[in-house]
Amino acid sequence: MCAPALCFGGQGTRPDGAPTSVPRSVTVQNVKVQWFAKGEEELPAWINARLSVGPMGVVTGTVTETDLDADGTDEDGDPTGFDTNVYDTMDGSLTGLTVGLDALTFTCVGPDKDSGSVVYALRRSATARGGWTLSAAGRNSKGLSYGHNRFPLTADEKKPGVLAVYTAPDADTDSPLPSL
């Protein structure tokens, strides 16, 4: 399983680690999103995405969202209740894609009116050098929800033009931490 990450494939970087040109591809790996609705914490989700910026700046791609829909474990101790949805620009379930130097956004549209939609935004942190923040807002038949990255996201330039944003090394993902 990959560490949560956001990887940019572009050309060159600024001194703060940001790319100097709009990335041509973006990969988001296993970013844990903590959800809240009506003031209460909800079960988390994980997102993965592969986005490509093509000719004329058209962004295409796929997002996989895995929700923990029920607490508990099975007889082997594995978590139960996972629900995975795939959203793609080819079928119109992934819309509103933008990719910039310091931010990206996309919207996942559910297959029916009860599923609703979720708008995700990733942006470079204004306070943590190399940090990123994920925010999400969703609307479905149950009402409004909002979410954010469960653990801090930090970045390293693995090689020129490729920036990886991942869970901070000091974030102990095995311990029960409070939401951020």
Which class for 128: exposed (0-12), middle (13-18), buried (19 or more C-beta within 10 A)? middle
Q: Do the Cβ atoms of 153 and 6 come closer than 8 Å?
A: yes
Query: What pLDDT score does 130 carry?
Result: 76
94-110 pLDDT tens trace: 999 998 778 889 999 99
The H or E element containing residue 54 is: none
Token pair in block for residue 126 = 């204004």
Going by the DSSP 8-state scheme, the letter that residue 57 receives in this structure is G
Residue 29 CA, distance from chain mean position: 7
CA distances from 116 to 14, 23, 145, 147 (A): 38, 29, 11, 15
116: left (phi over 0), alpha (psi -120 to 50) or beta: left
Query: What pLDDT score does 92 carry?
Result: 96
- CA atoms of 100 and 78, how far apart (whole Å): 38
97-143 pLDDT tens trace: 998 778 889 999 998 878 899 999 999 888 887 788 999 999 999 89
SS3 29: strand
Q: Do the Cβ atoms of 8 and 162 come closer than 8 Å?
A: yes
Nearest C-alpha neighbor of 94 from the set 50, 155, 150, 149: 50
Q: Do the Cβ atoms of 5 and 29 come closer than 8 Å?
A: yes
Token pair in block for residue 72 = 């508990």
Going by the DSSP 8-state scheme, the letter that residue 111 receives in this structure is S
In this prediction, the residues of the chain whose per-residue pLDDT falls under 50 are: 1-5, 9-13, 159-162, 174-180
